[in-house]
Amino acid sequence: MSLTISLTVNGVARDIPLDDPRVTLLDLLRERLDLTGTKKGCDRGQCGACTVLVDGRRINSCLALAVSHDGAHVRTIEGVAQGDVLHPVQAAFIAHDGFQCGFCTPGQIVSAIGLLQEGQAGDDPERVREGMSGNLCRCGAYAGITEAVLDAQKVIAEMDRKHAA
């Protein structure tokens, strides 16, 4: 079997030759596609720093083999803003001090975008905290992160309402 895979990364379709089936999606993004926004924290699925959206769903890219995701659509932190306009979740993280050192932040933001798309948390901060429990923040910015996610949800709902009107 050929180990060339097709991936659409942040809207751009690519054919990617793989010389080794061991390459994780995380290492592919960082080391071969130079998309270093996605962070390698634990590399074992425990910290969430490597969170990306695959076909719209948030997963830990460190526990995904690239070769197994042939044909997938991947969105990383580099692909969430529209040009110079930040994604509402990015803007809300800044407004609510949702980070300190920033290492976990790309994973937090992509995870939060996934959480909001899943539509399970509503405006309940407990459900937001539970839904974000796969993203660790050693600086302890959790209070700001929860506020940012709730606020971004309101902003997105308002944008959707205006768009529909």
Partner 1 sequence: MKTFDYVRPATIAEAVAAASEPGAAYLAGGTNLLDLMKGRITQPLRLVDVNQLPGLDTIEPLADGGVRIGARVRNADLAHDVAFGRRFPAVAEALLSGASAQLRNAATVGGNLLQRTRCAYFYDVASACNKRQPGTGCEARGGDTRLHAVLGWSENCIATNPSDFCVPLVAFDAVVEIAGKSGRREVSLETFYRLPGDTPERESVLEPGELIVAVRLPAEAAKFSAHARYVKVRERTSYAFAVVSAAAGLRIEGGKIAEARIALGGVALKPWRARAAEAVLVGVRPDAAAFRLAAEAALADATPSGDNGFKIELARRIVTRALSLAAAGTPDRVPALPASPFALVPGALIHA
* Cβ burial, residue 10 (10 Å; 0-12/13-18/19+): middle
Say if residues 16 and 6 touch (Cβ distance below 8 Å).
yes
Which of these segments, 29-37, 41-49, 73-81, 95-103, binds partner 1 (CB under 8 A)? Answer: 41-49
C-alpha count within 13 angstroms, C-beta hemisphere, residue 100: 8
73 binds partner 1 (CB under 8 A): no
Task: For residue 12, state whether it binds partner 1 (rule: CB under 8 A).
Answer: no
Is residue 19 involved in binding partner 1 (CB under 8 A)?
Answer: no
Structure tokens at 61: 């890219």
Q: Is 35 or 62 the residue whose CB approaches partner 1 more closely? A: 62
Q: Are 4 and 18 in contact (CB under 8 A)?
A: yes
Q: Which of 41, 48, 88, 98 binds partner 1 (CB under 8 A)?
A: 48
Is 1 a binding residue for partner 1 by CB under 8 A? The answer is: yes
Binders of partner 1 among residues 87 to 126 (CB under 8 A) are 111, 114-115, 118, 120, 124, 126
Q: What part of residues 49-68 is at the interface with partner 1 (CB under 8 A)?
A: 51, 57-60, 62-65, 67-68
Contact 144, 98 (CB under 8 A): yes
Minimum gap (Å) between residue 156 Cβ and partner 1:
18
The residues that touch partner 1, with contacts defined as CB under 8 A, are: 1, 3, 20-22, 24, 43-45, 48, 51, 57-60, 62-65, 67-68, 111, 114-115, 118, 120, 124, 126-127, 129-135
